[in-house]
Structure 1
Amino acid sequence: MSRKTIEKMVYRHATGLMKEKGYISPVDLLVKMDRITPKQVEDWRFKRIPYLEKVTVGGLGKMNHILKTLKKFATEQELKPSLTVYKSWGKGPKKLLRFSKTGDPYMEERYATHYVRKSNNKKHKQPK
Structure 2
Amino acid sequence: MNNADLEKEVKRLVHLNSYEKGLVCTVDIMLQLGYLTKKDYENWRFGRIEYLEKACNINLSKLTLINKLIRKYSMDLNLESSWTGYNQFGKGIKRKLRFSKSGKKSIEDSYATHYIDKKRIDELKKNKTSM
TM-score calculated relative to the size of structure 1? 0.90
Letter in 1 for 2:81: P
Aligned residue runs from structure 1 range 42-53, under 5 A: 42-53=42-53
Cα RMSD after superposing both structures: 1.6
Give 1:93's aligned residue. 93
Question: Would the aligned equivalents of 2:41 and 2:55 in 1 still touch at CA under 8 Å?
Answer: no
Q: State the distance in 2 between where 1:3 and 1:85 align.
A: 29
Q: State the distance in 1 between where 2:96 and 2:62 align.
A: 24
Question: For 1:53, what is the secondary structure of its paired residue?
Answer: helix
Give 2:30's aligned residue. 30
Question: Would the aligned equivalents of 2:88 and 2:95 in 1 still touch at CA under 8 Å?
Answer: yes
**What's the CA shift string for 1:39-62, capped at 9, x where partnerless?**
111100000111000011211000
Q: Which runs of 5+ in 2 are unaligned?
A: 121-131
Q: Which runs of 5+ in 1 are unaligned?
A: 121-128
Aligned residue runs from structure 1 range 1-128, under 5 A: 1-119=1-119
Q: Percent identity?
A: 40
Report the alpha carbon displacement of residue 115 of structure 1 after superposing the two structures with TM.
0.3
**Which segments of structure 1 move beyond 6 Å, counting only runs of 4 or more?**
none
Report the alpha carbon displacement of residue 119 of structure 1 after superposing the two structures with TM.
4.6
Question: Would the aligned equivalents of 1:45 and 1:97 in 2 still touch at CA under 8 Å?
Answer: yes
Report the alpha carbon displacement of residue 3 of structure 1 after superposing the two structures with TM.
1.1
Question: For 1:19, what is the secondary structure of its paired residue?
Answer: helix
Q: State the distance in 1 between where 2:80 and 2:101 align.
A: 27
Report how many aligned residue pairs link the two structures. 121
Letter in 2 for 1:22: G
Letter in 2 for 1:86: Y
Report the alpha carbon displacement of residue 71 of structure 1 after superposing the two structures with TM.
0.6
Report the alpha carbon displacement of residue 19 of structure 1 after superposing the two structures with TM.
2.1
Q: State the distance in 1 between where 2:9 and 2:93 align.
A: 37
With 17-26 and 94-103 compared, the bigger mean Cα shift is at: 17-26
